[in-house]
Amino acid sequence: MDLFNLFKPRDKSQKRLKDLIIYNADIIQKTEGKSRKDSEYLAICMIIDDLSKRPRGSDGYQKIMEILSRNYHEHLGDVMTYVGWSTGRLQLKPEAEDALRKRHARASRPTDDSGSGVSGFTEKDGEKLILAQSEQCIHQIAEKWVNYNTMITFKPEVPLSKIIEGFANPIQQFVRNEYPLLDAAGPALLWLMIFRGIEQTGSPSPDAVNRAIQELDAKFRTPGGSG
């Protein structure tokens, strides 16, 4: 099972968001003279900003993250940097913050297509940072899973899915406090890291973990289910 698909909303709204990205990028490119690369990046950031003001904007944000990972992965590093900075979860050096503000300012002349992003912080740097942090976080989650099961003895009849769900609560807070950039990516990445961390320990078996994933997947897709 593709863990990135876990708890993914399945409706037509993703297509509407993709169409909106394309439409907004077209407008930015035509009216502001920006490169296609910058126009797509700015269009995505504009939609994220708009969603943050809406009552159910978090649902749309998750879909935007999924669209990014599948269709616009070249913008992932820059968008995550912007989200981290705009929400106050990521502190940039003054020169990098100034470059980011300038990139988001309206322009009257074309820009190059180098994709350099924040000065001194390229898209590849952003991707490397996210990958490095996620690998480190997964390793720490694995250690916490071992400690969790050492401190708490569960009855044999307690389903693994229930144990993992309980484990996920403190892990969510841990990621929020220690890895704000990863936290900004939302629950899809959180669950992915949790399952990979558990798999790293070798206990329980991969088959048992997969069954737990399926049970949690079914639970969270069910109307009225928690999460």
pLDDT single digits (tens) 97-149: 888 888 888 743 333 444 444 434 455 555 666 777 888 899 999 999 999 99
* pLDDT at residue 159 tops 90: yes
Residue carrying the six token digits 């940072």: 129
The better pLDDT of the pair 56, 98 is held by 98
pTM for the complete prediction? 0.50
Asked if 103 contacts 123 with a C-beta cutoff of 8 angstroms, the reply is: no
Backbone φ and ψ for 118, nearest 5 degrees, come out as -65, 135
* DSSP assigned state of 89: S
What's the N-to-C CA distance of the chain in angstroms?
20
The pLDDT of residue 8 is: 47
The pLDDT of residue 222 is: 55
State the chain's mean pLDDT as an integer: 79
Beta strands in 51-161 (DSSP E): none
Cα dihedral sign for 219, 175, 89, 130?
A: negative
Beta strands in 1-159 (DSSP E): none
Task: Give residue 224's Cα distance to chain centre.
Answer: 24
Give the residue among 58, 52, 9 at the shortest CA–CA distance from 225.
9
Long-range pairs of 202-205 with CB within 8 A, sequence gap ≥ 24: 203/149, 204/160
Measured CA to CA, the distance from residue 205 to residue 208 in angstroms comes to 5
Least-confidence region, from 13-22, 66-75, 84-93, 127-136: 127-136
The pLDDT of residue 227 is: 47
